[in-house]
Amino acid sequence: MRLQQFVIDPTPVLRILEILKDDPSLDVRRSVANNLNDISKDNPDLVLETLKRWKVDATPEREWVINHSLRTLFKKGHKASLELQGFPPDINLSIEELSLSKNELNFGESLNLSFNLTNNGNSDAPLMVDFGIHFKKANGSNQLKVFKLSKKSIKPGETIKFSKKISVVPITTRVYYPGEHIVDVRVNGNLLGSVSFLLHPFQS
Q: What is the pLDDT of residues 31-56, one digit of tens each?
A: 999 999 999 999 999 999 999 999 99
Q: Average pLDDT, stretch 125-132?
A: 96
- Measured between alpha carbons, how far is 71 from 82 in angstroms, rounded to an integer? 10
Order of all β-strands in the sheet with 179-187: 104-105, 190-199, 179-187, 125-136, 142-154
Q: Average pLDDT, stretch 158-185?
A: 93
- Measured between alpha carbons, how far is 95 from 110 in angstroms, rounded to an integer? 23
Over pLDDT 90: what percentage of the chain? 86
Residue type, 149: L
pLDDT at position 22: 96
The tens digit of pLDDT for each residue in 77-90 reads 999 999 999 999 99
Q: Average pLDDT, stretch 156-169?
A: 96
Three-class secondary structure of residue 61 per DSSP: helix
- Domains of the chain, start order: 4-84 (no CATH), 93-199 (2.60.40.10)
Q: Average pLDDT, stretch 20-37?
A: 97
- Measured between alpha carbons, how far is 33 from 46 in angstroms, rounded to an integer? 14
For residue 6, pLDDT over 90 is answered with: no
For residue 7, pLDDT over 80 is answered with: no
For residue 204, pLDDT over 70 is answered with: no
Intra-chain end-to-end CA distance of the chain, in Å: 38
- Measured between alpha carbons, how far is 124 from 87 in angstroms, rounded to an integer? 11
Q: Average pLDDT, stretch 105-131?
A: 96
Q: What angle do CA 75, 157, 130 make, to 5 degrees?
A: 10
What is the H or E stretch that residue 30 is in? helix 26-40
Sign of CA dihedral 171, 40, 79, 82: negative
Q: CA nearest 183: which of 141, 144, 128, 140?
A: 144
- CB 59 within 8 Å of CB 67: no
The tens digit of pLDDT for each residue in 132-155 reads 999 999 898 999 999 999 999 999
- CB 86 within 8 Å of CB 57: no
